């Protein structure tokens, strides 16, 4: 069986999505989760970009125990040195070089670099990087639109120079599976076999995962992707889609992928928690509705044998089951057992908080499902000792008048009450909170969604604010979405 290596690039390419904002701390937590997911390589970032990016790559390199950490360097030797320095403490260091090779990208992104110049620079940069890292990955950018002869020339040149991985990038997401197969196969056949061939696909045609699988069939042994397929424009290939496809079809394709599938769903939830990015509910594998059946016959079939209508058991990818709801009468022991069953480990203090929150929610909701318990636990885990506490709030609305919100907050011994008007109830509440806390946070984005099904579903609110020039994210779940929104806002400004 040929082993397929997985490179997670959520922290670099994924973070180019305007919906994905990580703090340095958040990046470290996410990288540690990627290690539990058992990805082979963590694409940690582009250290030459900024001091913050550099700090994040350094922290990730220090925080993982066995996974290879990769850092990007674009065009020159200084960037390679910066990347190597940031990776110094990684268990295994990989430097990633990126150079566009299609004519259109050479013209507009390299400011007129001629083909022979591009080839010479690529070889020189690889030679430099080889002396500073355990592994060197070279990406010929926009490979799908490059002249195939020139692409092969560059790939053979950098293989000769010592690149250990050649990562063909469909930078603009234009490829279809048959085309991408030909491009990858062409390079695999042209190389001497010293370098691993890799594929990096974008989803502009909704084909990134399909193209990645085509690349595997063509002989690629490494795939780049992001969790939930997040990324610039339409995003990247979704790691979870490829991993589940390989679980189903790996044997037939003669390949295997050693990802720890049980950690797929927790990783996608952590992404939402840390960045505020909500994945589309119909997204394959990780979307909220990906395993919801509406056809009665299918529902009955799932109960008898899920394989009849479901290609994968949701619990095998770490999704909490909603088959055994717990009721409001559940005691602390039963709650604790459920938390344990879902794979969470909480401290005594966290457990008490989670139970308290569970009890208050359970009285407003007929059944508390596993997904609800998971959301409650995640809220408690993500708390970071916020200063402000919501004591109470009220909203008054009448048609023809602007909604008014009154909030009462507590910080230590001090209790503050403020009122404000707004365009809607949530806007009014945010304004009242701003007055009470005397912050000048600028709201960047606010979203709310039902976490589970039914009229008493738990609502999850995610608030993204800008304080100074830093973006912060807050998240909260409650049965009442206005309350969830206020709590999420308080978390965001308190972080």
76 exposure class (CB count in 10 Å sphere: 0-12, 13-18, 19+):
middle
Helices (H), 382-479: 425-437
Minimum distance from residue 175 beta carbon to Zn ion (Å): 13
Of the two residues 230 and 476, which places its CB atom closer to Zn ion in the complex?
230
Binding piece for Zn ion, criterion CB under 5 A, among 8-16, 91-99, 104-112, 281-289:
8-16
Of the two residues 241 and 483, which places its CB atom closer to Zn ion in the complex?
241
Which residues lie closer than 8 Å to 385 by C-beta, 6 or more apart?
none
Residue 281 CA to residue 464 CA, distance in Å, equals: 20
- Binding residues among 229-288 for Zn ion as defined by CB under 5 A: none
Of the two residues 120 and 233, which places its CB atom closer to Zn ion in the complex?
233
Minimum distance from residue 109 beta carbon to Zn ion (Å): 13
Minimum distance from residue 453 beta carbon to Zn ion (Å): 35
Write the interaction track for Zn ion spanning residues 81-120; mark x where CB under 5 A is met and - where it is not. Answer: ----------------------------------------
Minimum distance from residue 338 beta carbon to Zn ion (Å): 40
Of the two residues 13 and 372, which places its CB atom closer to Zn ion in the complex?
13
Residues 391-410: b if buried by 16+ CB within 10 A, e if exposed? eebebeeeeeeebbbbbbbe
Of the two residues 139 and 275, which places its CB atom closer to Zn ion in the complex?
139
Of the two residues 144 and 432, which places its CB atom closer to Zn ion in the complex?
144
Residues 354-370: b if buried by 16+ CB within 10 A, e if exposed? bbebbeebbeebeebbb
Nearest to 152 by CA among 162, 161, 143: 143
Minimum distance from residue 236 beta carbon to Zn ion (Å): 6
427 by DSSP, 3-state: which? helix
Minimum distance from residue 169 beta carbon to Zn ion (Å): 6
Of the two residues 175 and 312, which places its CB atom closer to Zn ion in the complex?
175
Other CB atoms within 10 A of residue 121 CB: 16
User: Which residue in the block uniquely carries the two structure tokens 């990989």?
Assistant: 94
Nearest to 164 by CA among 192, 202, 201, 200: 192
Phi first, then psi, for residue 353 (nearest 5°) are -65, -45
Of the two residues 234 and 346, which places its CB atom closer to Zn ion in the complex?
234
Binding piece for Zn ion, criterion CB under 5 A, among 6-14, 190-198, 253-261, 367-375:
6-14
Minimum distance from residue 56 beta carbon to Zn ion (Å): 18
Binding piece for Zn ion, criterion CB under 5 A, among 9-17, 85-93, 143-151, 238-246:
9-17
142 in contact with Zn ion (CB under 5 A) = no
User: Which residue in the block uniquely carries the two structure tokens 């992928």?
Assistant: 257
Residue 232 CA to residue 18 CA, distance in Å, equals: 8
13 in contact with Zn ion (CB under 5 A) = yes
Minimum distance from residue 81 beta carbon to Zn ion (Å): 24
Token pair, residue 61, equals 């390199």
170 in contact with Zn ion (CB under 5 A) = no
Residue 340 CA to residue 330 CA, distance in Å, equals: 15
Contacts of residues 307-316 at CB distance under 8 Å and 24 or more positions apart, as own/partner, are 311/244, 311/248, 312/244, 312/247, 312/248, 312/285, 314/265, 314/290, 316/261, 316/262
User: Which residue in the block uniquely carries the two structure tokens 């582009």?
Assistant: 46
Nearest to 384 by CA among 282, 490, 463: 490
Which residues lie closer than 8 Å to 59 by C-beta, 6 or more apart?
24, 27, 28
Residue 175 CA to residue 163 CA, distance in Å, equals: 25
Of the two residues 13 and 483, which places its CB atom closer to Zn ion in the complex?
13
Of the two residues 13 and 494, which places its CB atom closer to Zn ion in the complex?
13
C-alpha 118 chain-centroid distance = 33
Minimum distance from residue 46 beta carbon to Zn ion (Å): 12
Minimum distance from residue 226 beta carbon to Zn ion (Å): 9
Considering CB under 5 A, how many residues would be counted as binding Zn ion?
A: 1
Binding piece for Zn ion, criterion CB under 5 A, among 13-21, 113-121, 142-150, 405-413:
13-21
Minimum distance from residue 447 beta carbon to Zn ion (Å): 25
Closest residue to Zn ion, judged by C-beta, is 13
Binding piece for Zn ion, criterion CB under 5 A, among 10-18, 110-118, 355-363, 463-471:
10-18
Of the two residues 13 and 240, which places its CB atom closer to Zn ion in the complex?
13
Interaction site with Zn ion (CB under 5 A): 13
């Amino acid at each position: 069986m040929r082993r397929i290596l997985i490179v997670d690039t959520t922290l670099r390419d994924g973070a180019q999505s305007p919906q994905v904002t990580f703090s340095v701390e958040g990046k470290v937590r996410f990288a540690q989760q990627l290690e539990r997911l058992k990805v082979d390589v963590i694409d940690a970032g582009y250290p030459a970009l900024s001091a913050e990016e550099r700090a994040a790559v350094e922290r990730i390199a220090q925080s993982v125990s066995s996974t290879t950490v990769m850092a990007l360097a674009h065009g020159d030797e200084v960037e390679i040195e910066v990347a190597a320095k940031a990776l110094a403490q990684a268990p295994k260091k990989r430097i990633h070089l990126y150079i566009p090779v299609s004519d259109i990208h050479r013209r507009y992104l390299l400011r007129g670099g001629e083909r022979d110049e591009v080839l010479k620079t690529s070889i020189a940069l690889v030679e430099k990087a080889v002396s500073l890292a355990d592994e060197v990955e070279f990406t010929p950018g926009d490979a799908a639109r490059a002249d195939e002869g020139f692409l092969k020339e560059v790939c053979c040149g950098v293989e000769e120079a010592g690149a250990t991985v050649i990562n063909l990038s469909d930078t603009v997401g234009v490829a279809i599976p048959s085309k991408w197969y030909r491009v990858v196969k062409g390079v695999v056949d042209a190389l001497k076999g010293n370098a691993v061939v890799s594929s990096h696909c974008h989803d502009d045609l909704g084909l990134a995962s399909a193209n990645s699988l085509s690349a595997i069939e063509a002989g690629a042994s490494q795939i780049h992707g992001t969790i939930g397929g997040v990324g610039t424009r339409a995003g990247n290939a979704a790691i979870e889609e490829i991993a589940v496809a390989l679980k189903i079809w790996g044997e037939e394709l003669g390949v295997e992928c050693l990802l720890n599938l049980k950690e797929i769903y927790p990783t996608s939830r952590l992404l939402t928690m840390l960045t505020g990015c909500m994945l589309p509910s119909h997204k394959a594998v990780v979307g909220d509705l990906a395993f919801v059946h509406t056809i009665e016959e299918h529902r009955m079939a799932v109960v008898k044998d899920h394989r009849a209508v479901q290609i994968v058991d949701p619990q095998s990818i770490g999704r909490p089951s909603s088959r055994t709801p717990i009721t409001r009468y559940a005691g602390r022991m039963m709650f604790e057992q459920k938390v344990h069953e879902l794979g969470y480990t909480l401290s005594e203090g966290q457990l008490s908080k989670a139970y308290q929150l569970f009890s208050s929610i359970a009285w407003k909701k007929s059944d508390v499902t596993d997904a609800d318990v998971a959301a409650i636990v995640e809220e408690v885990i993500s708390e970071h000792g916020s200063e402000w506490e919501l004591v109470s709030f009220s909203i008054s609305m009448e048609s023809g008048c602007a909604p008014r919100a009154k909030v009462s907050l507590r910080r230590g011994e001090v209790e503050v009450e403020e009122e404000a008007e707004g365009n809607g109830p949530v806007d009014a509440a945010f304004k009242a909170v701003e007055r009470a806390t005397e912050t000048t946070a600028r709201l960047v984005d606010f979203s709310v969604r039902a976490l589970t099904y039914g009229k008493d579903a738990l609502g999850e609110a995610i608030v993204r604010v800008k304080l100074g020039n830093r973006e912060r994210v807050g998240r909260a779940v409650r049965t009442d979405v206005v309350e969830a929104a206020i709590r999420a806002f308080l978390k965001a400004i308190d972080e």
